[in-house]
Chains A and B, each alone.
Chain A
């Protein structure tokens, strides 16, 4: 389980996150939504320890880190906790297969190559596994990045706009994979703009604006938003999608 308490992130004079409180439970999907610049990606970066919070407390799998002060030993956290970033950052000198196989090889998995092949097949990329990232489509790259992340069997998975470049069919396939990961017991946090994805997969929804949680709750808040800010955001999203 991951518990974030009073997470704050300051950069220079700007407060990027303020008073973020979240719980990610095994076997659940939490969707983080909000307008551009709301702090969604920074929330993901702080919860994954890629960026350290300026203040607050973060408990990951029983280890509690307090900020400022603690310097987490990330080698004990990663890759049990892993992420797919919006820009994906597939390593451009490696094929899609090698992108998935390399982390498995470096952690000493004896079945690294077989597992990499299985993961690529699971996301529907077995036919293009020899392609380099620049030879793959946006959707193929997103699925390869997802395969790389799930290949190491993480317990916590953070996904930033994972379906943004996918067509409806591919997005449906990814949704199915994420659902099956949830039933495997993973705690998943998804940053997304897709109401379809949220309505069909999320157990909890967090709406951020200006670095603060404005509203949080179950999927019902999509129908019965309490705050005018979320109501307005949802109406804009519905009008444009």
Chain B
């Protein structure tokens, strides 16, 4: 069977797996971007109370493999009698990873933001809120957007780990099909194509934004 014959024959299974992957990603993305951005801003504003704990957690999370963290969250909770559906164990574990990654991006961007842009805004008559709305917010967004999108693509790829705690996402679907017909090269190539179709445009958007805003903000990032 060719790759496309496999995709055609098992399209409903692939679609179901892809849907679970996208559901999982949506939860991880939503939590990561909203809570992570909020945490990043608060960590910047409260460096002692929230900044140091956030940096420490990011450092630990950067050193511990995502898979270990996922297992560590899923199995001990079950031992304690708290049996979460695997989908939600994976959602929580990967959301925590994403929240810390996004918080790090936002905190860094705020720390590196040249305050003189705001000073000039204030001395030009803008209020503090106007300076934040018209100057700092759009500049920070342009600065972090490429890294933020790339991180979200990485998180989408990290959802594959959820298969190891029995979430029926796309990788587990591919494994099941392979167990039935044993065509590993074709099946995993088909999986690669599906990921390329989903992640490719998102990565392309990140590259486009990086190119579009990168030159314009060269002055900002060189400070």
Residues of A within 8 A of B (CB): 48, 50, 74-75, 78-79, 81-83, 85, 87, 89-93, 102-103, 106-107, 132-134, 148-149, 152
Contact = CB atoms under 8 A, between A and B. Distances in A.
Interface string B44-58: 000000000000000
A103 B124 CA distance: 6
B125 A93 contact: no
Interface of B: 114, 116-117, 119-127, 130, 134-135, 138-139, 142, 213, 215-220
Nearest to B130: A106
B113 to A, nearest CB: 12
Given A91-B139, A92-B217, A134-B219, A74 B116 contact: no
22 contacts: A82-B124, A82-B125, A83-B123, A87-B116, A89-B114, A89-B119, A90-B219, A91-B117, A91-B120, A91-B135, A92-B217, A92-B218, A92-B220, A93-B138, A93-B142, A93-B216, A103-B124, A103-B125, A106-B134, A133-B219, A134-B215, A149-B124
Contacts of B121: 91, 103
Main secondary structure of the interface of B (DSSP, over half): helix
A74 B126 contact: no
B142 A50 contact: no
Contacts of A89: 114, 116-117, 119-120
B36 to A, nearest CB: 23
Given A89-B117, A92-B219, A78 B142 contact: no
Nearest to A152: B125
A55 to B, nearest CB: 22
Given A50-B119, A87-B116, A134-B219, A93 B139 contact: yes
B197 to A, nearest CB: 32
B130 A48 contact: no
Contacts of B125: 78-79, 82, 103, 106-107, 152
Contacts of A75: 127
Instruction: Report, nearest first, the 3 A-B pairs whose CB atoms are least far apart.
Output: A79-B125, A103-B124, A89-B120
B126 A106 contact: yes
Given A93-B139, A133-B219, A134-B216, A79 B117 contact: no
A89 B119 CA distance: 9
A78 B123 contact: yes
A142 to B, nearest CB: 14
Nearest to B139: A93
A93 B217 contact: yes
Nearest to A107: B125
B109 to A, nearest CB: 14
Contacts of A81: 123
Contacts of B217: 92-93
Given A92-B139, A92-B217, 12 more contacts: A50-B119, A50-B123, A78-B124, A79-B124, A83-B123, A85-B120, A89-B119, A91-B121, A91-B139, A93-B213, A103-B121, A133-B219
Contacts of B124: 78-79, 82, 102-103, 148-149, 152
Contacts of B218: 92, 134
Given A93-B139, A133-B219, A134-B218, A102 B134 contact: yes
Nearest to A87: B116
Contacts of B139: 91-93
Contacts of B138: 93
B183 to A, nearest CB: 51
A93 to B, nearest CB: 5
